[in-house]
Amino acid sequence: MSHYELDARRMLCPMPVIKTQNLVATLKPGDTVEVFCTDHGALNDVPAWSRINGHEVIATRESDGEISITVRVGDSDG
């Protein structure tokens, strides 16, 4: 089980989702990724993407306009 951090600050949606998707595609089930972003749209989009693709959002934090969303990689193939 490994933990990764992904810097998607200043990127507008859907770029944070694309970056998350591309990183998750290289990881194993159970690995976690903490995505840092500044576009509030990510609060909707990263969880929606996770639900669709069988991953789980395990933490969301927001402070000073910066958001962090932690996704646990699911067993799904994709």
Partner 1 sequence: MSTQRKALSLISGGLDSMLATRVILDQGIHVEGVNFFTGFCVEGHTHAIRKKDRAKPKRNNALWVAETLGIKLHIVDVIDEYKDVVINPKHGYGSNMNPCLDCKCFMVRKAHEWIQAHNFDFIITGEVIGQRPMSQRRDTMPVIQRESGAEDRLLRPLCGKNLPETLPEREGWIDRERLYGFSGRGRKPQIALAREMGIEDYAQPSGGCCFLTDEAYSHKLTDLWQARGERRYELDDIMLLKVGRHLRPRPNFKLIIGREEGENNFLEGYRKQFTHIRTLSHPGPLVLLDGEPGADDIALAARIAARFSKGRDAEQVEVEITPLGAEARREHVAPMPSGEMPQEWYL
Residues annotated as part of the active site: 13
Q: Which stretch binds partner 1 (CB under 8 A): 26-34, 35-43, 55-63, 67-75?
A: 35-43
Paired strand residues for 57: 71
Give the whole-angstrom CA distance, residue 47 versus residue 42. 8
Q: Which stretch binds partner 1 (CB under 8 A): 7-15, 28-36, 55-63, 67-75?
A: 7-15
Please tell me whether residue 17 adopts helix, strand or coil conformation: helix
Q: How far is the CB of 65 from partner 1 (least distance, A)?
A: 8
The letter for the amino acid at 27 is L
Give the whole-angstrom CA distance, residue 24 versus residue 26. 5
Regarding 33 and contact with partner 1 (CB under 8 A), the answer is no
Please report, as residue ranges, which positions from 48 to 67 form the binding site for partner 1 (by CB under 8 A). Answer: 48-49, 51-53, 65
